[in-house]
Amino acid sequence: MIRNLQRSYASREGAPILTLVDTDIFTKTYFTHCMACTFCNDSCCQYGVDVSLNEARRIDEHGDALVRYTQVPREKFFDGSFQDDVDFPGQGNTQTSLGPRGCIFLNPTGRACMIHAFCLEHGMDYHALKPMVCCLFPVTFGEGLLSPSLDVDDASLICLGEGPTLYQGAREELRYYFGEELVAELDAIAADYVRTANVSSFPLTQDRVDSASTI
């Protein structure tokens, strides 16, 4: 079910702007604790990721240090594609290149995202470089709608099933990008939807997922 939000909510960089929410994010569940997972092999990152032009610029600004840290040649950071898209900061996006395991920034010999690890090891907020699409996963955005990611809708996300809801997994990231007022409204919608639809959900007061866990 698609619900209208009471007002529009712009992200901290001006885009995307949310006006609608798909209530599936309040009921569909998944494992959530990515770095405790022993069965997925980072499969959610196998196709690379959309990167806003603003994010691509910031990654490029740290290019020399990222090359040294990741051993990924600078010219292989992105796949060369570009599309105009008002949902992304900078009014467009590109995509990360693919490597042996999927996204070029996946650790080739271990687990998880090397951009995230780079930021943590250099005392940076990982939001500075890590794409918003990655941080919000497995919820996503498009044309004003906050909704489950495609991997959820087509049931290809291997960790679907037991665990917190999609919303609970992304709640603190949504707070970071869109602010307290959006989270307060989504909390209220979640509680109302779970009550009136007679569906089960986990309490919204659950401990936040450790955002320092590299995914």
Per-residue pLDDT of the chain (215 residues; tens, 9 = 90+): 999 999 999 999 999 999 999 999 999 999 877 766 677 777 888 899 999 999 999 999 999 999 999 999 999 999 999 999 999 999 999 999 999 889 999 999 888 899 999 999 999 999 999 999 999 999 999 999 999 999 999 998 888 888 999 999 999 999 999 999 999 999 999 999 888 876 655 444 434 334 333 34
How far, in Å, CA of 195 to CA of 34, rounded? Answer: 29
How far, in Å, CA of 167 to CA of 4, rounded? Answer: 16
- Half-sphere exposure at residue 128, Cβ-oriented, CA atoms within 13 angstroms: 14
Question: Which residues face 84 on adjacent strands?
Answer: 92
Report residue 165 CA to chain centroid gap.
Answer: 14
171's CB contacts (< 8 A; 6+ apart) are 183, 186, 204, 208
